[in-house]
Structures are given as C-alpha cells and as structure tokens.
C-alpha cells in the first residue's frame, strides 16, 4: 500500500542556506520548538511520527537530543553496516527513501512522516511521488552557509494556508522569520 506522504520540514535563510560547518547557522529557540512540535504531534495518541534524515543531519543533532524523542528515527546512508554499529538501539538505518517508506508501511503505528534533511535528502523527497507538503521557515536574514535547501519548483508547489500555523512574522531577538507551507500540486 502506498499511503505514506513525505512532509519536509526545514528552516532556511534568505540565501536558502540551512547549515554551516555541520551545524545550524543560527540558534532560534522558538523556531526549534516549532520543529519539535510539528514533528512530534499526532492526532491518534496510540501512534507516533517518523523522522527521516541523512547521516550528516543525524550527526549534527546534539548528543543529548539523540535519538529525537517521541519519534521513530530513520537515518539514511549508503553505508548501512557501518552506521548500524554506531547508532543507539531503536534507530532505523536504511540505504534509501524507498526503503524507509517500506519500513514505515510495515508498521501500523506511524501517523506522519517528516523528512528533516539535509540537502540531498530534501531533494530526493521533493522529487518523490509521495511528496506531500513542505514546511519551510523563511528566515529574513542571510547567513554564511555551506549547505542549502533545494530550489522549490513554483510550477509544482503552491503556497497554502494551514490551520494552526501562524501567518504573521515571528521574531526572536534581532531575527525574524515566517512559517510557510507549500503543497505539491
């Protein structure tokens, strides 16, 4: 059965940067809280969500937050055998998005699936037939970055309004941003 929708979630700055030197280029507490809430919240309390990430994204998460709590953590790598030795019990290591989807569809307790980066994983998820929505936080500043969110094709993704997601400008310290949602047509 092919029912798994891939939702992407990312925060990007004006130049579409998402990371620098293996870390986030900014520290935005409320924005990170939005990421946690969105990826954790479920309608059915008997279910959980899954997060899919690349190996480098896995490595960029601070040790005290790994694996991401209350979520099934799935890490993609071409070198499954090597990474399996290094991740805690319960973390799923697979070589592709399709293998991740197969794993998810083999469980009955996963409600939503969130793709949390980085660049190449976002790109593959955006091009995947199961791609659903992109939850993109647009930070109104430029940061020096070495990793970027892929270009969102305007003819494929349309901005939508989502209930419960504020449309107003958000501000933290001297940085402001918008929570945007794009839906694949």
Residues that bind ligand FOL (CB under 6 A): 9-11, 24, 31-32, 34-36, 57, 60-62, 65, 68-69, 116-117, 137
Catalytic residue among 24, 59, 111, 172: 24
Active site residue 8: no
Nearer to ligand FOL, 101 or 115 (CB): 115
| 24 vs 105 by CB, closer to ligand FOL | 24
- For residue 52, the minimal CB distance to ligand FOL (Å) is 11
38 C-beta neighbours (distance < 10 Å), count:
17
When the beta carbons of 36 and 105 are compared against ligand FOL, the nearer one is 36
Closest approach of ligand FOL to the CB of residue 33, in Å: 6
User: What does DSSP assign to residue 23?
Assistant: B
Shortest spacing between CB 13 and ligand FOL, in angstroms: 11
H/E stretch holding 152 reads none
Helices 119-127 & 97-105 angle (0-180, nearest 10): 70
By C-beta, is 113 or 137 nearer to ligand FOL? 137
Quickly list DSSP for 27-62.
Answer: --HHHHHHHHHHHH--SSTT-EEEEEEEHHHHHHS-
CB of 114 to ligand FOL, least distance (A): 8
- Taking phi over 0 as left and psi of -120 to 50 as alpha, with beta for the rest, 21 belongs to left
The active-site residue out of 28, 31, 76, 83 is 31
CB atoms closer than 10 angstroms to residue 20: 14
Is 31 in the active site? yes
Give the closest residue to 149 by CA, choosing from 162, 165, 137: 137
Give the active site residues.
24, 31
């Amino acid at each position: 059965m092919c029912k798994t929708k891939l939702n992407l979630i990312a925060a990007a700055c004006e130049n579409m940067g998402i990371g620098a030197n293996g870390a986030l280029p900014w520290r935005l507490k409320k924005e990170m809280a939005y990421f946690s809430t969105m990826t954790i919240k479920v309608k059915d309390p008997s279910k959980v969500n899954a997060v899919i990430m690349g190996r480098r994204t896995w490595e960029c998460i601070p040790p005290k937050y790994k694996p991401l709590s209350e979520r099934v953590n799935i890490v993609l790598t071409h070198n499954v055998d090597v990474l399996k030795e290094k991740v805690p019990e319960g973390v799923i290591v697979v070589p592709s998005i399709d293998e991740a989807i197969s794993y998810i569809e083999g469980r009955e307790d996963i409600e939503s699936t969130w793709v949390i980066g980085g660049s190449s994983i976002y790109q593959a998820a955006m091009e995947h037939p199961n791609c659903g929505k992109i939850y993109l936080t647009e930070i109104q500043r430029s940061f020096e970055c070495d990793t970027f969110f892929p270009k969102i094709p305007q003819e494929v993704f349309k901005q939508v309004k989502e209930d419960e997601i504020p449309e107003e400008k958000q501000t933290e310290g001297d940085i402001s941003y918008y929570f945007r949602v794009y839906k694949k047509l």
